[in-house]
A and B are shown apart, each in its own frame.
Chain A
Amino acid sequence: MGQTVAEKIISAHADRPVTAGEFVVARVDAAMASDTTAPMAIRAFASMGGRKVWDPSRTVFVIDHAAPAPNERIANLHNLMRDFSRRQNCRLFEAGSGICHQLMIEHEIARPGSLVIGADSHTCTYGAVGAMGIGVGSTDLAAVLLTGKIWLRVPQSIRIVVDGALCPGVRSKDMILSVLRRTGIAGATYMAMEFNGNAVERLSLSERMTLANMTIEAGAKTGFVLPRGLRLPEDPAQILPDPDAIYTETLRLDGAAILPMVSPPHSPDQGVPVTQAAGIRIHYAFIGTCANGRLEDLQAAARILKGARVHPQTRLIIGPASRQVFLDALRDGTVEALTAAGAVFIPPGCGPCVGTHNGVPGDMENVISTGNRNFKGRMGNPLSSIYLASPETVAASAMQGCIADPRTFALEREPA
């Protein structure tokens, strides 16, 4: 019987052919935790009787969620991670290196066909390169550090096929917000999502990461963007589904009909075409996060804001997804163009996405963000409202001071 990508990758890590619904113990290729989850994982590891992590070269810690430390309590948690990494000889990405998921792909730790367990829900991002990234909590992660293994239920899969070229000004963010509108916030719970179709094949790696990243917003265990159209060193056969693989559902979208989308507060599955939200006053615009904080995203914003000004009653904060992204954007003039337009750059990392520091919204303020979640209080203030959108839409809105349709800026889509 044919296998889905999820079934193939788990079979390879459980050393036997598996099908959806089975419970297995699988070998893990890499484990990752951030400064939100690593301290509890380190403590749980010790409580389990752990002395040496199963494989230090495959154990990755990232200081990104509250980095550099905004207070002494968090500074001490960071030191706990530093001490543990030094003693155990694990890989540690220091504050300012970037967001964990960006680093796992940039540094090719998440590789096609690998099984990566991360103590962060957006670990599913690695499906952009055909890795199976599964998010867990701290204690599950500690168990991986101890045993190099994880127990899993092999997920069923949903296939999403998007055919037809995207219109200028429309990005993969608009595609995933359209998909979430259809699935709802729990529509893929316990499942894997597989993205396919000629509109998907034309997406860059960066845009594929946005798609895979937000599969958790449908409750999915993991997401894959099929590697067609992506240059990979590995043989893609191991990360392509068999033609007779079984899916619980196939969702089809017409790529040409996808509009720029905005997901209003307080849930990422409420997306509406930007035209329905246009004109809503914006106090604070944020470009960054593991969903859309990459070079292409910053460049897209710069194309709109170059030579222009951020609206005087709106602030624009930009958090590059990694130091590499920041360096690239410095070298090609993107940082200069955006700074001249009035944007404030914060260090590479999660920044205000999760409400710890670096740009918490005020009461009754409206935020438009390139992030992936807009739950109430997400950015640190339950009295603010968060709208999710693409970097183009956020940049256009920052300039107009209200939610704006990026297509009015006559954007040409970069050839892939």
Chain B
Amino acid sequence: MNEPLIQGRAHVYGDNVDTDAIIAGKYTKTLDAKSLARHVLEDLDPEFSRIVQPGDILVAGINFGCGSSREQAPLALKTAGVAAVAARSFARIFFRNAINIGLPVFELPLADIAAGDVLRIDLTSGKIENITRRALYQAAALPPVMTAILEAGGLVAYLRMHGDYSII
């Protein structure tokens, strides 16, 4: 089960952060999530894997996670400590993958979030509070099927519990 409230510092990136930028193809062939985390966002921001703290929140522009279907991308972020991603929009497969492994993702229209701002996200309502700037944003609601999967802690936990899709 995911905690309903998360709080962390924002790391802010731009549009079209692709899966090769999140975790390069040459690092994906492994079952060791920690080795993914060591190279997360390496080509985009070589400092990131060093400075990220557990609970931090990634904020990005449009089409976050475009490109490959590698689930190693959300897994690398989650293992590195990222607690949630809020982006203006996501690529389809990344969005599914993130929910499936239990990494909360939020579609958030343009918001004035700067690197280092402290955010608090209510996972259930999608309300995002910018504590640094005293601002409140509302993320788009997830479809019910995704909420059910996320609430279970991901698709593995969901199917272990239900044995089959019982949502639609």
Chain A residues within 8 Å of B, Cβ to Cβ = 23-25, 35-37, 39-40, 43-44, 47-49, 65-66, 73-74, 77, 119-121, 123, 135-140, 142-143, 146-147, 149, 151, 153, 185-186, 189-190, 219, 221, 267, 354-356, 360, 373, 375-378, 380, 382
Chain B, interface residues (CB within 8 Å), range: 35 or more
Q: B97 an interface residue at 8 Å Cβ cutoff?
A: yes
The B contact surface, by secondary structure, is loop
Are A77's CB and B159's CB within 8 A? no
Q: Which B residues from 42 to 70 make CB contacts under 8 A with A? A: 42-43, 62-63, 66-70
* CB within 8 Å: A-B pair count: 144
Are A139's CB and B69's CB within 8 A? no
- Identify 11 residue pairs between A and B in the complex whose beta-carbon atoms are under 8 Å apart, listed by A's number: A25-B168, A37-B69, A120-B68, A121-B69, A135-B69, A140-B100, A186-B16, A219-B66, A219-B91, A355-B26, A375-B18
A residues within 8 A CB of B43?
376-377, 382
Residue of B nearest to A120 (CB): B69
Are B97's CB and A47's CB within 8 A? no
Are A151's CB and B28's CB within 8 A? no
A77, A190, A377 — which one has the most chain B CB atoms within 10 A of its CB? A377
Are B20's CB and A119's CB within 8 A? no
Are B89's CB and A186's CB within 8 A? yes
Bound-complex Cα distance A25 to B149 (A): 14
A residues within 8 A CB of B154?
139
User: Which of A73, A137, A139, A219 is within 8 Å of B156, CB to CB?
Assistant: A139
B residues within 8 A CB of A221?
92
B residues within 8 A CB of A39?
29, 31
With A40-B72, A47-B156, A147-B159 as contacts: A380 and B26 at CB distance below 8 Å: yes
B residues within 8 A CB of A140?
96-97, 100, 155
Which 7 pairs of residues, A with B, have the shortest CB-CB distance? Answer: A137-B71, A137-B97, A354-B25, A186-B63, A139-B100, A382-B43, A121-B69
Bound-complex Cα distance A267 to B159 (A): 37
Are B67's CB and A356's CB within 8 A? no
Are B97's CB and A139's CB within 8 A? yes
A residues within 8 A CB of B20?
373, 375-378
Determine how close the nearest CB of chain A comes to the CB of B70; give it in whole angstroms: 6
User: Which of B16, B63, B93, B143 is within 8 Å of A121, CB to CB?
Assistant: B93
Determine how close the nearest CB of chain A comes to the CB of B60; give it in whole angstroms: 13
Bound-complex Cα distance A248 to B118 (A): 39
Are A189's CB and B92's CB within 8 A? yes
